[in-house]
Chain A
């Protein structure tokens, strides 16, 4: 009986299993591998409800338990094979790409290559490669990279660490081959070095290379696993996730399914005695490692047995692949019929596999979305500030578009619903800050919005405040008169935390510190910085602390923010009289105009609401800060222009359909969002909000070319009670559709959309989609820019496309097309 090559068989089975996981793992995973349920309500023995938190132990639903995010471990392992082996295979490939040529040069006597190999292999033998990989990949800037660039970083590091040792092994192998007799023969007949290298050595090296590849893959896998234990893995490291029950978790796990990331909870699993967290992923690693090792050993055995045949077949490979041969075969079709047919069939299959998915994809949204963006960027709309003509014009534009798209008016009296905005804010028209000496002579003056600003004003009846300047040192040394009134100047040349503690101290003990009228805080250094701080307060909107006045007849201390240099100047002028005066405009109530359209469905229950804000900051006169008299129009196309465009494009596509959707689709454009929550509050007045709707709030911030490298949208979900099912269903559709266009929907805290909390009393599901996540807020700089060229039309288009797909899925049922 022929002896079976057991290692080869077992190895092949394991490796084939891995390959199938790479291709189909995510599709056949029993549960969602990206998002899970973090907490469930359960009953304890007394019948009381208790909240149980992930990780859940293995049970019938989750065969291998769940991880910290409540995701099924089995599913993550299945779906994670693709990411894991992308890194592993890429790293292996790169190692060989570097090692093979250099080892060839070294084996044929090149000194530089030889010493290169020597240095690299020695270094990474004496110092464990794990340590070095740890040190480099732990560096903050590398560890925070998004998935794709993170994979690249890992591959680069793995390659640098591993190629030297590999090159040494290959070099030795080549030298072995060169020592053999037939090479002497080739030299004797006058073959060049190059010919020997390409023809003889390569052919004899091939079997070893194949074996080395298997072994190298298992080495890289091992390194990846080890790094995983040290909490180093590709992709984003931490997800601040607000779960469906409002429980906030902040756990280390990777949103992208990947094996290395699963090992990050190894230490936690040991400490908490939750073996399923780590042992199953580790087993996945170990089985793969053993699989590739066995395959290598089995191949080694097979190839050394029939060495000669393998080598000659490699030499024939090029012959069989060349077009010349194929033409020759076609000419002798009668004899070579089978070969020709086989080749043609193979080529056709490959072509079909590539072409069919490309040709059959239905594209339903078109680039019209950018037309809306261009329209909204026009100066005519004056930055769409609530209550201005520009805003009205923008509203008219939106209404006209909705009409054109066969979207019916939402409200009884048309598309527009007007409401009164009761402003709790007031507008500072002008302000002056002067320092005079005792004889009334002017010593110094600060410019409003350049050197100082304030966000609150103490009283609506008082428009001038006076007081002596008091420095912090004088305050501490009790060099003041309690009967007088003072402005306390902080400057942070001392201990910052101490001083800020003191401010809160003063504010909380107002009775004792009644003599302090205001606190002057230096917290910006230059105009650019100031601009960023008050950009949302461009209009000088100011809260009046009325009502606090009742507090013992006095005025509570208020805070003036000044620049650092100004603070220093003021403290030098201590003891002099400071006057700050303002002219406050108490605007009459503004009229807000919410716009709404509806596509009526079969049922009024559970409508889908696509909401976005459409007002913006208006225009601002920069004459104060610069010598120019430019009027800057805040077009807000990053901020919500793109969202309006996306919403309109959705309306165009959905409105043109003949079928009636299962549930109504409502488009809402909210006004007044920049000043007051009134516009959103107004939503609660409308009837449809009580039908347990699903609100999709578009907030496409950051769809610009300078945005992230990763193509992902951040999804902040706030689910209220009963509608969790619809929201979850929509989420799943959205995820599947986005994956088709290579997008990721990442559950993450979105940048706080102000006032959305107002809806929390209603029975609604709310999902916010946006292009930036909370932590990227600082890089969001698009507010004042109006450069259309920076908007990534293709990206926006893709967003709208998959949103459209998802809405179609949930409103018309999958398979509508």
Chain B
């Protein structure tokens, strides 16, 4: 339990670090978003003013992000809001002209970010968890198949497929898959949808693209781990005592392999989440990252912090899950430090 607490503490510390850095970066990007530079409070309606005060504090009459003091205020205000569970609003900017011909920009809150965040989050989680589950399942199967077990040589073909799968990035696999599906559709008249997120069918292509790399990774890990396990004394003893191949594999080898796997999967999470950004964009799958980039391009830089935070929470969740899994499975690990 103490170890567990220690781990959680560590992760929370890391999350905080991430958050601080992130906010800094966002404030830097905000310097150059011009649309917030001139806001005339006197011309705002009551509702707008309320939203504005809520967002930036009440002592600002006009504001630019160019002074470091106000940047700091902005960041602090943002922390306060986020602690209250308010991630901010999507704003509509409406232009107005004063008598002097000065251009003013009013911010009108349209929709809370939390709402779109929830939708995107659930979609992305669906994609990620399906891909990871498939990757682990298929990867272990392939790994078991690939491993030389107690044979002397290894199949070059099997190794080659794994290496190929590991070295082909999503930017290649995604479009390739799309062109293949498109070709099949034009030729034979059937296929799966290329773009979108509406139905379960839409998830097929993104999941395949996203799952290939982790599958190969898991396969390689499994194969290496199985080969290592076969070198162990207790396995050799079991084989020499005449246990069936399946029994040796299942009882003696596999359990150790799973523990090792659970420990290694977090290291591939970074790549998978990074690939998620691309996959969602390529397949127009409106998950977390696609929504975020879409809004960011429209100038809603507020979206970034909330979304990036939840992305790192996803990362942390999966990380915790696999660490805990390893912790639960591995009798040695429970004694050692995490």
| A476 beta carbon closer than 8 Å to chain B | no
B residues 295-317 near A (Cβ < 8 Å) are 296-297, 301, 304, 308, 311-312, 315-316
Known contacts A136-B29, A270-B182, A290-B167; A278 and B175 CB within 8 A of each other? yes
23 A-B interface contacts by CB (under 8 A): A126-B15, A126-B270, A126-B312, A127-B311, A130-B274, A130-B277, A131-B289, A131-B292, A131-B311, A140-B34, A222-B171, A226-B278, A266-B282, A269-B175, A285-B169, A286-B169, A290-B167, A293-B167, A492-B97, A492-B99, A493-B99, A525-B100, A525-B101
Q: Is the CB of B32 within 8 A of A270?
A: no
Q: Is the CB of A135 within 8 A of B178?
A: no
Q: Is the CB of B194 within 8 A of A136?
A: no
Q: From A135, A282, A568, name the one whose CB has the most chain B CB atoms within 10 angstroms.
A: A135
Which chain B residue lies CB-closest to A119?
A: B17
Q: Which residues of B lie under 8 Å from residue A290 when comparing CB positions?
A: 167
Q: Is the CB of B17 within 8 A of A122?
A: yes
Q: Which residues of B lie under 8 Å from residue A130 when comparing CB positions?
A: 274, 277-278
| B293 beta carbon closer than 8 Å to chain A | yes
Known contacts A266-B175, A275-B179; A229 and B99 CB within 8 A of each other? no
| A125 beta carbon closer than 8 Å to chain B | yes
A residues 122-158 near B (Cβ < 8 Å) are 122-123, 125-132, 134-136, 138-142
Q: Which residues of A lie under 8 Å from residue B293 when comparing CB positions?
A: 131, 134, 230
Q: Is the CB of B29 within 8 A of A139?
A: yes
Q: Which residues of A lie under 8 Å from residue B277 when comparing CB positions?
A: 128, 130-131, 226
CB distance from A198 to the nearest CB of B (A): 32
Which chain B residue lies CB-closest to A139?
A: B32
Bound Cα distance A266, B186 (Å) = 19
Which chain A residue lies CB-closest to B297?
A: A138
Known contacts A123-B22, A266-B175; A230 and B281 CB within 8 A of each other? yes
CB distance from B179 to the nearest CB of A (A): 5
Q: Is the CB of B25 within 8 A of A568?
A: no
Known contacts A275-B179, A522-B101, A564-B101; A138 and B296 CB within 8 A of each other? yes
Total number of A residues with any Cβ neighbor in B under 8 Å? 53
| Chain B positions 166 through 182: 1 when the CB is less than 8 Å from some CB of chain A, otherwise 0 | 01110110011011001
Which chain B residue lies CB-closest to A496?
A: B97
Q: Is the CB of A131 within 8 A of B308?
A: yes
| Chain A positions 376 through 405: 1 when the CB is less than 8 Å from some CB of chain B, otherwise 0 | 000000000000000000000000000000
Q: Which residues of A lie under 8 Å from residue B26 when comparing CB positions?
A: 135
| A240 beta carbon closer than 8 Å to chain B | no
Q: Is the CB of B274 within 8 A of A128?
A: yes
Give the residue of A126, A273, A275, A282 whose beta carbon is less than 8 angstroms from that of B18.
A126
Q: Is the CB of A491 within 8 A of B99?
A: yes
Binding site for A on B (CB under 8 A): 14-15, 17-18, 21-22, 25-26, 28-29, 32-34, 97-102, 167-169, 171-172, 175-176, 178-179, 182, 186, 194, 270, 273-274, 276-278, 281-282, 289, 292-293, 296-297, 301, 304, 308, 311-312, 315-316
In the A-B complex, the 4 residue pairs with the closest CB atoms: A128-B274, A126-B312, A123-B21, A525-B101
Q: Is the CB of A285 within 8 A of B101?
A: no
Q: Is the CB of A282 within 8 A of B171?
A: yes
CB distance from B155 to the nearest CB of A (A): 16
| A792 beta carbon closer than 8 Å to chain B | no
Q: From A128, A293, A522, A568, name the one whose CB has the most chain B CB atoms within 10 angstroms.
A: A128
Q: Which residues of A lie under 8 Å from residue B297 when comparing CB positions?
A: 138
Q: Is the CB of B99 within 8 A of A119?
A: no
Bound Cα distance A118, B14 (Å) = 9
Bound Cα distance A126, B97 (Å) = 43
| A445 beta carbon closer than 8 Å to chain B | no
**With A229-B278, A270-B282, A275-B179 given, can you name 14 additional A-B contacts, CB distance below 8 Å?**
A122-B14, A127-B22, A127-B308, A128-B273, A128-B311, A130-B277, A136-B25, A140-B32, A226-B278, A230-B281, A278-B175, A282-B171, A283-B172, A565-B100
CB distance from A648 to the nearest CB of B (A): 44
Bound Cα distance A640, B168 (Å) = 55
Bound Cα distance A565, B102 (Å) = 12
Q: Is the CB of B169 within 8 A of A225?
A: yes
Give the residue of A119, A129, A269 whose beta carbon is less than 8 angstroms from that of B274.
A129
Give the residue of A126, A225, A283 whose beta carbon is less than 8 angstroms from that of B315.
A126
Q: Is the CB of B270 within 8 A of A125?
A: yes
Which chain A residue lies CB-closest to B26?
A: A135
CB distance from B184 to the nearest CB of A (A): 12
| A279 beta carbon closer than 8 Å to chain B | yes
Bound Cα distance A401, B297 (Å) = 56
Q: Which residues of A lie under 8 Å from residue B182 when comparing CB positions?
A: 270, 273
| A578 beta carbon closer than 8 Å to chain B | no
Give the residue of B15, B100, B171 whose beta carbon is less than 8 angstroms from that of A225.
B171
Q: Is the CB of B194 within 8 A of A270?
A: yes
Bound Cα distance A375, B179 (Å) = 64
Known contacts A122-B18, A127-B18; A564 and B171 CB within 8 A of each other? no
CB distance from A15 to the nearest CB of B (A): 15
Q: Which residues of B lie under 8 Å from residue A136 when comparing CB positions?
A: 25, 28-29
| A263 beta carbon closer than 8 Å to chain B | yes
A-B contact count (CB 8 A): 134
| Chain A positions 205 through 235: 1 when the CB is less than 8 Å from some CB of chain B, otherwise 0 | 0000000000000000010011001100000
Q: Which residues of A lie under 8 Å from residue B172 when comparing CB positions?
A: 282-283, 285-286
Bound Cα distance A139, B31 (Å) = 10
Q: Which residues of A lie under 8 Å from residue B15 when comparing CB positions?
A: 126
Which chain A residue lies CB-closest to B319?
A: A126
CB distance from B63 to the nearest CB of A (A): 19
Bound Cα distance A132, B278 (Å) = 13
Bound Cα distance A198, B109 (Å) = 59
CB distance from B24 to the nearest CB of A (A): 10
| A772 beta carbon closer than 8 Å to chain B | no
| Chain A positions 516 through 531: 1 when the CB is less than 8 Å from some CB of chain B, otherwise 0 | 0000001111000000
Give the residue of B28, B32, B98, B270 whose beta carbon is less than 8 angstroms from that of A493.
B98
Q: Which residues of B lie under 8 Å from residue A637 when comparing CB positions?
A: none
| A106 beta carbon closer than 8 Å to chain B | no
Bound Cα distance A127, B289 (Å) = 11
CB distance from B185 to the nearest CB of A (A): 10
Which chain A residue lies CB-closest to B270?
A: A125
Bound Cα distance A795, B182 (Å) = 52
Bound Cα distance A278, B178 (Å) = 12
Q: Which residues of A lie under 8 Å from residue B282 when comparing CB positions?
A: 229, 266-267, 270
A residues 20-60 near B (Cβ < 8 Å) are none
Bound Cα distance A119, B16 (Å) = 10
Q: Which residues of B lie under 8 Å from residue A283 when comparing CB positions?
A: 172
| A370 beta carbon closer than 8 Å to chain B | no
| Chain A positions 769 through 811: 1 when the CB is less than 8 Å from some CB of chain B, otherwise 0 | 0000000000000000000000000000000000000000000
A residues 248-285 near B (Cβ < 8 Å) are 263, 266-267, 269-270, 273, 275, 278-279, 282-283, 285
Bound Cα distance A263, B281 (Å) = 13
| A289 beta carbon closer than 8 Å to chain B | yes
A residues 275-309 near B (Cβ < 8 Å) are 275, 278-279, 282-283, 285-286, 289-290, 293
Q: Which residues of B lie under 8 Å from residue A119 when comparing CB positions?
A: 17, 21
Which chain B residue lies CB-closest to A493?
A: B99
Which chain B residue lies CB-closest to A126?
A: B312
Q: Which residues of B lie under 8 Å from residue A222 when comparing CB positions?
A: 169, 171
Bound Cα distance A269, B171 (Å) = 13
CB distance from B41 to the nearest CB of A (A): 18
Q: Is the CB of A263 within 8 A of B29?
A: no
Q: Is the CB of B29 within 8 A of A135?
A: yes
Q: Is the CB of B98 within 8 A of A273?
A: no
Which chain B residue lies CB-closest to A494?
A: B97
Q: Which residues of B lie under 8 Å from residue A229 when comparing CB positions?
A: 171, 278, 281-282
Which chain B residue lies CB-closest to A282?
A: B172
Which chain A residue lies CB-closest to B167?
A: A290
Q: Is the CB of A123 within 8 A of B175?
A: no
Q: Which residues of B lie under 8 Å from residue A123 when comparing CB positions?
A: 17-18, 21-22
Q: Which residues of B lie under 8 Å from residue A138 when comparing CB positions?
A: 296-297
Q: Is the CB of A564 within 8 A of B304?
A: no
Which chain B residue lies CB-closest to A115?
A: B17
